[in-house]
Amino acid sequence: MQILLAIFGISLLVIVHEAGHYLMARAFGIRVTRFSIGFGPVLAKYQPKDSPTVFQICAIPFLAYVMIAGMNPADEVDPKDPELYPNKGIIARTLTIFGGPFANYLAASIMIFALAITAGLPVNDVSEPMVVGDIMPGSPAAQSGLQPDDVILQAAGKKIRNVRELIDATSPRPNLPTQYLVSRAGKVLPPITITPRAEGKTGKIGVAPKLIYRTLAVREAAVLAVIRPFELTVANLQGMADLVARRTTEGITGPVGMGKLVAQQAEKGVFAFVGILIMISVALGLFNLLPFPALDGGRLMFLAYEVITRRRPNERIEAAVHAVGLLFLLGVIALVTLRDVVG
């Protein structure tokens, strides 16, 4: 069930992304010939009366795509056809491309608002005592046998009352064996030795405190629904910068790793499941806005070139650039997926 929920959740976010492209294109009178949920042989399809779009569900109902008439630079374009993508103005084409990422950010905001006024959202209040919430798989804490709901009482001989004191005691000790005193189900365990992993000059054992949830008033929830996606975007960008600085791919995960993560959260309940979908929706929107060929951001870069130079880029060059970018992305996804499967 968790696997099915993971597939459903990730596919839903991609469908939302493609729906953003579709709705924006139709708003500007651009013809969309196909809206497909999944890939492979078509199981069912429907074309509304007076609509140019065929809506279909395929045998592999994972992810989604839309076909916008004339968007492929290799397509033959009739300059007299007003419903083709290339024959529209720069604003219509830009907003059609931007519609996908915007839909993901909007979906994240809606989910944040819904959670905030119903189940509540995690707050930044420092809880006492230091109860372990999530444990990062493969982290020093996980390898030591630490478990969720354990209470950390001491670290390196220092009394621990909350997560801030745990960070203060752990951070100065990268790669140094450190004793932690832990209580489990009301009983104090023998001291546990954990060696914090070095991340830069900081030691980390890979635990997060158990979160405190609080429901919000409608106005406060609406403000948070706007602010939180921005905060997540900043955090994602900082994470990307850290990966580049450390020249590592440790933080990159593919469809398999993402599916595992969503499945793990689904096992914890509906609110944890929605919470991870919020994070992925923002990440999907941001990723597609990166100025890289084959992504929405890459197409926006060519549109920016058109605005600056007041002339359209060579269609063959643009098609070649996107093709190379797509091959590169597929290669990275394949390698990361292989690592997720083997790992």
Specify the pLDDT at position 201: 86
| Tokens (6 digits) for 302 | 């060519």
pLDDT of 250 over the 70 cut: no
- Contact status, residue 97 vs residue 296, Cβ threshold 8 Å: yes
Distance of alpha carbon 31 from alpha carbon 53, whole angstroms: 8
pLDDT band of residue 3 (cuts 50, 70, 90) is confident
Domains of the chain, CATH where assigned: 2-118+278-342 (no CATH), 130-209 (2.30.42.10)
Q: Does residue 330 or residue 108 have the better pLDDT?
A: 108
- Residues 184-239 have pLDDT tens digits of 999 999 999 999 999 888 999 999 998 888 888 999 999 999 999 999 999 888 88
Specify the pLDDT at position 249: 64
Q: Please state, rounded to an integer, the average pLDDT across all residues of the chain.
A: 89
Specify the pLDDT at position 88: 94
pLDDT of 136 over the 70 cut: yes
- Residues 275-285 have pLDDT tens digits of 889 999 999 99
Distance of alpha carbon 313 from alpha carbon 13, whole angstroms: 31
User: CA distances (Å), 87 to each of 71, 90, 223, 295, in order?
Assistant: 10, 9, 39, 21
pLDDT of 74 over the 70 cut: no
128-154 in b/e form (b: 16+ CB < 10 A) is eebbbebbeeebbbbebebeeebbbbb
Burial class from Cβ neighbours inside 10 Å (0-12, 13-18, 19+) for residue 326 reads: middle
pLDDT of 63 over the 80 cut: yes
Residues of the chain above pLDDT 90, percent: 59
pLDDT of 245 over the 80 cut: no
Mean pLDDT of 99-128: 88
- Residues 283-330 have pLDDT tens digits of 999 999 999 888 999 999 999 999 999 998 888 888 889 889 889 888
Specify the pLDDT at position 79: 86
* Element housing 130 (H / E): strand 130-135
Residue spans of beta strands (DSSP E) within 144-233:
151-155, 158-159, 178-184, 187-188, 192-194, 197-199, 202-204, 207-209, 213-214
| Tokens (6 digits) for 56 | 């279909």
Write phi, then psi, for 212 (nearest 5 degrees): -105, 130
